[in-house]
């Protein structure tokens, strides 16, 4: 997960609580500072061991330092990279590459981001466990990174459908009826009913013949 990788990378530079709002960078000369395109650092206290950093003064009680070796936010080794347009949810780039390379960014990747290379979908690879990148070949290219929340909604909808399909057999009335009224084994089945009365049922004596009735049809 890119967010997890971003938090680990942040902790290697600053330490402190995992979800803290901000923490002081403990090693401002670390190479990760360049990889994350950090060109300006501020500190409440003066930094020591500046290395390549330059102290520019104080602003609002904070010391300001610039980093001249910070990498561009979009770069590719052996390629000329230019941002042609950029908005909150989309960035368009133009590349001229002398050899196969990887277009790298210093922006954290999240699942709803997509990429196009020459108007064709391009697979996004996670760089340093947190950032977006796509492979590019030699020649001139147009690359696009864009945020597509619909793809995230489709993923969540598919996940909900899968969960519902998996949980339905456990919660449906049919499943409950099957669970509560399982078939009996032959040993537990009731004995078949008999038409003969039980042995202790009282019996009535047979009827006695009555007196003969006179025949009224005789003369």
Instruction: Express each pLDDT in 68-125 by its tens digit.
Output: 999 999 999 999 999 999 998 999 999 999 999 999 999 888 888 999 999 999 999 9
Least confident of 14-28, 103-117, 120-134: 14-28
Q: Which residue has the higher pLDDT, 105 or 172?
A: 105
Tell me the domains of the chain and their CATH numbers: 2-66 (no CATH), 74-150 (2.60.120)
Query: What confidence score (pLDDT) does residue 127 get?
Result: 85
| Nearest in space to 136 (alpha carbons), one of 106, 82, 100, 104 | 100
Query: For helices 173-180 and 149-171, what crossing angle results, to 10°?
Result: 30
In the structure, how many helices (H) and strands (E) does the chain have?
A: 4, 12
């Amino acid at each position: 997960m890119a967010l997890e990788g971003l938090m680990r990378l942040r902790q290697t530079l600053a330490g402190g609580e995992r979800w803290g709002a901000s923490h002081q960078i403990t090693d401002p000369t670390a190479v990760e500072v360049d990889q994350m395109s950090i060109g300006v650092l501020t500190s409440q206290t003066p930094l020591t061991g500046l290395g390549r950093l330059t102290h520019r003064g104080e602003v609002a009680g904070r010391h300001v330092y610039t980093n001249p070796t910070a990498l561009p936010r979009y770069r590719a080794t052996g390629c000329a990279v230019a941002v042609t347009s950029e908005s909150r949810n989309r960035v368009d780039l133009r590349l001229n590459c002398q050899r196969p390379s990887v277009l790298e960014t210093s922006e954290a990747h999240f699942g709803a981001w997509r990429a196009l290379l020459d108007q064709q979908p391009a697979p996004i690879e996670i760089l340093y466990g947190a950032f977006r990148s796509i492979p590019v070949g030699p020649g001139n290219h147009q690359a696009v990174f864009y945020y597509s929340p619909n793809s995230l909604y489709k993923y969540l909808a598919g996940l909900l459908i899968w969960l519902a399909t998996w949980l339905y057999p456990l919660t449906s009335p049919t499943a409950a009826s099957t669970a509560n009224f399982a078939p009996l084994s032959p040993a537990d089945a009731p004995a078949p009913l008999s038409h003969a009365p039980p042995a202790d049922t009282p019996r009535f004596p047979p009827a006695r013949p009555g007196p003969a009735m006179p025949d009224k049809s005789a003369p």
